[in-house]
Chains A and B, each alone.
Chain A
Amino acid sequence: MWQYEKKLQYPIKIKNPNPKLAKIIISQYGGPDGELGASMRYLSQRYSMPYPELKGILTDIGTEELAHFEMIAAMVHQLTREMSYDEIVKSGFDTYFVDHTAGVWPMAASGQAWTSNYIGVKGDLLADLHEDMGAEQKARVTYDNLLRLIDDPDIRDPLKFLRQREIVHYQRFGEAMGLAAEKLNSKNFYAFNPSFDRK
């Protein structure tokens, strides 16, 4: 179960609203490599993990991703506060506004709704941990792309924090993969999971 702490993991304080940037940042809320998918992927994968360290790391990273999900929402929320109708139209936010007003809805910047097709849960520790390492790199690239497009230091600062977290998560999943590989039979150098097929 979970308990809410009444704060963000890292502060969000954006002085200047900018609905145009909200429209691209929302991809890390509900896009293909966003924080919602990250959290759902890890929290769903942990049930079929055979080793305690793997249950632990997926629970704790999955929980941290929920905190990132909230930080992205706070950014979108603050970037879309006190908008005039004129700004909404000029910024191109009108296509989002017509469906969601200034609510925060999980979607990709390119327009698709969030879907569980963004995540993989294969029920196999090697397949899932490989997915997780790739997912962290894809999330890191998305943050790199946002940083390429955004100048405002109030937005860049938390984006840089989040980018760093993806790098740490990648590192920890790499170690988890090492732990998993150690438990395989020493002759199993092609790294597949033989546990289902043992007669």
Chain B
Amino acid sequence: MNAMNNRPNDKSRMLRRIDAVDFAICEMTLYLDTHPGDTRALKTLEQYRTRRSELIGEYEMRFGPYVVTSNDVTGNRWTWVDNPWPWDYQAD
């Protein structure tokens, strides 16, 4: 966890990139629920998923856990609890 090398904006910029991919995944998911046989949509979703796991991997390396189950337990602190939480106001 090299949090010191990060500029303050990097984390929110990274989150915005994840948001964009997650949005596409959310849209494809709802679409596939009512069109489960659409193979083109399945292919598209697969590409977004690959992109998402790359981004989440990079995010977690730099900024700590994205989901509680991936909290690193080899260090000396449970960083899941650390601020900011998503609803906290953060000036840029």
**What is A's interface to B at a CB cutoff of 8 Å?**
3-15, 52-53, 56-57, 60-61, 64, 70, 73-74, 77-78, 81, 168-169, 172, 175-176, 179
Contacts and interface: CB of A to CB of B under 8 A. Distances in A.
A71 B90 CA distance: 15
B15 A7 contact: yes
B34 A53 contact: yes
Given A8-B86, A70-B86, A77-B87, 11 more contacts: A5-B66, A6-B66, A7-B18, A11-B15, A53-B34, A53-B36, A57-B34, A64-B30, A70-B87, A81-B89, A175-B35
A56 B67 contact: no
A57 B30 contact: yes
B92 to A, nearest CB: 8
Contacts of A168: 27, 30
Nearest to B89: A78
Which size bracket describes the interface of B in this complex?
20 to 34
B62 to A, nearest CB: 14
Contacts of B92: 13
A74 B86 contact: yes
